């Protein structure tokens, strides 16, 4: 029997109804981040793309230094450089900015993934991980010391659990939000798992570049989020089979 599946993920509760019907495709809808926008999966024909950069305008601030004062045999004897704001000295591109469409109502399928967030030499790798709702994350410990994974989630289930060397914790994220992850053993360690309500997002590379593909033609709001510099939102129009370019510029906050 072909079924019409409808998921509505709304702040803190998950209601699932399954009805039988004559639909050709499963029709899955999610409520988007706090804005009440319901996302419906459809087949995208002649989609366009969005590409661009996120850059910093102004003198590049010197990176914060993280003092390593525990487990130096594993974590290293040198202090570490914070990844809270990573700006390329030449291109001025900002790394690890999450760029996403915030008000798109329908589009390509949400492909839930099992992503990995490693703890290696007492740093989280990657520092920013973006996943769609319904995804899981393997939280790994590649070190030979105990780490403690502490999630500062509000909508998703929060956790605060130790993981021994070589161990793994797997957690699922069903609600869109920005979840800070810290380690209670090594207070300099932090990262973010950014859970998005639709599949139209990307994380900038070391030159601040991003690309989002297979977007239905239309007008949208596109948002950049950076942990220190905050959010920026602009309007963008996407035409069928064309690339729309948007460049975000942050200045000193």
Please list every residue from 19 through 78 that binds Cu ion, using CB under 5 A.
Answer: none
Stretch that binds Cu ion, among 58-66, 143-151, 195-203, 214-222 (CB under 5 A): 143-151
Stretch that binds Cu ion, among 12-20, 139-147, 163-171, 230-238 (CB under 5 A): 139-147
Q: Which is nearer to Cu ion, 189 or 224 (CB)?
A: 189
Give yes or no for a contact between 127 and 188, defined as CB atoms under 8 angstroms apart.
no
3-state secondary structure at position 191? strand
3-state secondary structure at position 32? coil
d(CA 1, CA 12) in angstroms, rounded, equals 31
Give yes or no for a contact between 236 and 219, defined as CB atoms under 8 angstroms apart.
yes
Stretch that binds Cu ion, among 1-9, 13-21, 96-104, 147-155 (CB under 5 A): 147-155
Strands 135-140 and 114-120: parallel
183 binds Cu ion (CB under 5 A): yes
185 binds Cu ion (CB under 5 A): yes
Stretch that binds Cu ion, among 25-33, 151-159, 182-190, 235-243 (CB under 5 A): 182-190
Residue number of the CB closest to Cu ion reads: 183
CB atoms within 10 A of CB 134: 18
Q: How far is the CB of 171 from Cu ion (least distance, A)?
A: 16
Q: Which is nearer to Cu ion, 32 or 189 (CB)?
A: 189
Q: How far is the CB of 13 from Cu ion (least distance, A)?
A: 33
Using the CB atoms, write b or e for 190-213: b if 16+ within 10 Å: bbbbbbbbbbbbbbbbeebbbebe
Q: How far is the CB of 119 from Cu ion (least distance, A)?
A: 6
Count of positions on this chain that bind Cu ion (CB under 5 A): 5
In angstroms, the Cα distances linking 61 to 7, 88, 228 are: 44, 11, 12
Q: How far is the CB of 126 from Cu ion (least distance, A)?
A: 16
147 binds Cu ion (CB under 5 A): yes
Closest CA to 32 of 221, 209, 171, 219: 221
d(CA 48, CA 50) in angstroms, rounded, equals 7
186 binds Cu ion (CB under 5 A): yes
Give yes or no for a contact between 59 and 251, defined as CB atoms under 8 angstroms apart.
no
Q: How far is the CB of 245 from Cu ion (least distance, A)?
A: 40
Q: How far is the CB of 75 from Cu ion (least distance, A)?
A: 8
Residues in contact with Cu ion by the rule CB under 5 A: 147, 183, 185-186, 189
């Amino acid at each position: 029997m072909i079924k019409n599946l409808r998921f509505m993920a709304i702040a803190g509760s998950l209601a699932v109804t399954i009805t039988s019907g004559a639909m050709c495709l499963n029709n899955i809808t999610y409520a988007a981040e706090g804005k009440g926008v319901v996302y419906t999966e459809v087949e995208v024909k002649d989609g366009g793309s969005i590409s661009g950069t996120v850059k910093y305008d102004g003198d590049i601030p010197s990176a914060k230094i993280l003092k390593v004062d525990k487990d130096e045999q594993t974590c290293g004897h040198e202090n570490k450089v914070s990844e809270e704001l990573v700006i390329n000295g030449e291109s001025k591109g900002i790394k690890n900015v999450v760029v996403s469409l915030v008000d798109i109502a329908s589009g390509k399928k949400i492909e839930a993934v099992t992503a990995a967030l490693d703890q290696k030499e007492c740093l989280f790798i990657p520092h920013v991980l973006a996943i769609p709702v319904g995804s899981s994350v393997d939280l790994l410990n590649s070190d030979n010391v105990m780490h403690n994974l502490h999630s500062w989630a509000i909508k998703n289930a929060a956790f605060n659990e130790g993981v021994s060397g070589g161990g793994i914790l797997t957690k699922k994220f069903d609600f869109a939000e920005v979840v800070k992850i810290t380690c209670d053993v090594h207070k300099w360690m932090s990262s973010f798992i950014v859970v998005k309500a639709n599949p139209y997002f990307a994380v900038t590379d070391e030159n601040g570049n991003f690309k989002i593909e297979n977007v239905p033609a239309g007008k949208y709001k596109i948002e950049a989020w950076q942990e220190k510099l905050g959010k920026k939102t602009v309007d963008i129009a996407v035409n069928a089979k064309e690339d729309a370019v948007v460049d975000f510029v942050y200045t000193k906050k």
